[in-house]
Amino acid sequence: MTVTIKDVAREAGVATSTVSRTLKDSPLISENTKVKVRQAMQKLGYTPNFAAQNLANKSTQTIGVILPVGTMGNPAQNPLFLEMIQEIGVVCNEQKYMISLATGKTMAELKDSVRLMHQRKLVDGFILLYSEAKDPIRKFLHDEKIPYALLGKPDVYENETIYIDNDNRLSGKSAADCLIQHGHQRIGYVGLTPSQVVDKERYKGYSDALRDANLTVHPELYFETPTDFMAFLEFLEETQPTGLVVGDDRLALRVLQYLQLDKYKVPDDISLISFNNSVFATLSHPFLTTIDIHVQELARQAAALLIRQLNEPSALLPKMIVPHEVIERETVMRVREE
């Protein structure tokens, strides 16, 4: 049978409460008896029962990690999420927290999963791995006053949520600036999906940079539907861009392909800079020049800040900005004289 606190108490010749206190290293217990108790624990191979602690404590020492639904920009295929999870895992391991996962094929399913986890008191708080405009999950978390940390930029409740993000606007600017510094003048912006706040911000940054340099700001293009692709081709013809800022590495790989199929050479004809510095960036030839957003740091902070919040509920809700970094590889080159 499983060894309980009672067994330890008997073995050590003390009361269960003494064992319990020893467990938390309470100053009320003398060093001598602590030693005695710990020896008993050792000997019997005792480990506290999680459920019992939870029940008595009304806390769970576990955080729920919410993955985006399968349809949203193919997250299942976005390696960033796994990196985030791994990193959250590291922090949780250190702090003896557990990770519970909320997933779903649809928003409804995901929300059910989240609600269930909360109602049944399985988690103390959540980490939302994505930020999406008008997200029903966030609304739910907010309305129920459930502690959570958001990875990305909130569209609402900005002052009432813990979030960890890059300065997306600034990184958009950095990307465009990189092209400008290489002599580019006709620069376009290709985004992932209009619903991601990230994209909007980066586009603003792109606009800032071009405006500062007195260059023409073009409307953003998306790659969601085949129609978008048509628009892209039109854009290429009409404005003859020499540089493109692309929403993320994976999209950049697709763009790269489209360009090559269309007889454009990268970077000779068109330079490309994208975001994330994910696996994809060093997969194709040429390697992508890209902006590293430091996902691991983002995730680590999210976990750390959420856990801090859980331990001191009265603390103010922090926001944190993780710096980005331009990684120059092979897809950006100095524009040829015309």
Partner DNA sequence: ATGAAAGCGCTAACAA
Partner DNA sequence: TTGTTAGCGCTTTCAT
Residue 195 CB, nearest distance to a second copy (Å)? 20
90 binding a second copy? (CB under 8 A): yes
C-alpha 241/C-alpha 218 separation (Å) is 10
CB nearer to DNA: give 30 or 42.
30
Name which of residues 48 to 87 contact DNA (CB under 7 A). 48-49, 52-53, 55-58
Tokens of 334: 């100095």
* Least distance CB 103 / a second copy (angstroms): 3
Three-state secondary structure call for residue 50:
helix
Task: Quickly count: other Cβ atoms within 10 Å of residue 97's Cβ.
Answer: 21
Residue 260 CB contacts under 8 Å (≥ 6 apart), including other chains: 266
Pick the piece of the chain touching a second copy (CB under 8 A) from 19-27, 83-91, 143-151, 312-320: 83-91
Which residues make Cβ contacts (< 8 Å) with residue 225, sequence separation at least 6? none
Least separation in angstroms between residue 17's CB and a second copy is: 19
Residue 21 in contact with DNA, rule: CB under 7 A: yes
C-alpha 245/C-alpha 178 separation (Å) is 10
Q: What is the dihedral of CA 73, 74, 77, 78, to 10 degrees?
A: 20
Handedness of CA 216, 336, 245, 208 (dihedral sign): negative
- Which of 17, 42, 74, 311 is in the footprint of a second copy by CB under 8 A? 74
Q: Between 273 and 312, how does the x/- string for binding to DNA read (CB under 7 A)?
A: ----------------------------------------
Type and span of the H or E element at 246: strand 243-246
Closest by alpha carbon to 275, among 67, 68, 78? 78
Residue of the chain from 4, 33, 54, 185 that contacts a second copy (CB under 8 A):
54
Q: If binding is defined by CB under 8 A, does position 89 make contact with a second copy?
A: yes
24 touches DNA by CB under 7 A: yes
Comparing CA positions, the residue from 167, 164, 169 lying closest to residue 318 is 164
Residues in contact with a second copy, shown as a per-residue x/- string from 271 to 300 under the rule CB under 8 A: -------xxx--xxx---------------
Nearer to DNA, 36 or 324 (CB): 36
* Site track 106-135 with a second copy (rule: CB under 8 A), x = hit: ---x--xx--xx-xxxx-------------
Specify the stretch interacting with DNA by CB under 7 A; choose among 44-52, 104-112, 190-198, 211-219.
44-52
Give which of 136, 146, 142, 140 is closest to 63, Cα–Cα: 146
Which residues are at the interface with DNA (CB under 7 A)? 1-2, 4-6, 13-21, 23-24, 27-30, 32-34, 46, 48-49, 52-53, 55-58
